[in-house]
Amino acid sequence: MTHSELTPGGIDETAPVVSRHSIRIAAPIERVWQLHTDVGAWPRWQTDIESARIDGPVTPGNTFHWTSAGLSIGSTIYAVEAPRRILWGGTAHGITAIHEWRFEADGDGTLVRNEESWSGDPVDADTENSRKLLGQSLGAWLEHLRRAAEDPA
């Protein structure tokens, strides 16, 4: 099996928990992309993230490490199509997550879509709560990104 055969091309549509969200941000796609892919700066605008770091560029195969809700997470970047798409994922605390972000210029703004899948024993043990937690997290992340991108400072 080659590396590409092991690398997801998108979220796991068969996972017990899949969440999809979107938002329109009144900022150019380049600004939204830059904010979103500057991993080390996430804690400055994404208040749900306590720390984040990436060693090297945002490229497929690179891994970034971040902490959210007291959980340490390592995410591997699977695909990057700047400034339109990024896909990452990994397994942390028994949950395998795959997260895809899509960005589309929309007049003077940007339409951002994100979707994520969760699978694993903790998800199977409490699917409804997992679905609720993931939905809240993705919705909050989009709102934080909107506020940061639309801030004139």
pLDDT at 39: 97
Task: Give the predicted TM-score (pTM) of the model.
Answer: 0.93
pLDDT at 70: 86
CA distances, 144 to each of 46, 52, 104 (Å): 6, 15, 18
Q: How far apart are CA 76 and CA 96, in angstroms?
A: 12
pLDDT at 152: 82
Q: How far apart are CA 109 and CA 24, in angstroms?
A: 7
pLDDT tens track, the chain, 153 positions: 344 446 899 999 999 999 999 999 999 999 999 999 999 999 999 999 999 999 899 999 999 999 998 889 999 999 999 999 999 999 999 999 999 999 999 999 999 999 999 999 999 999 999 999 999 999 999 999 999 999 987
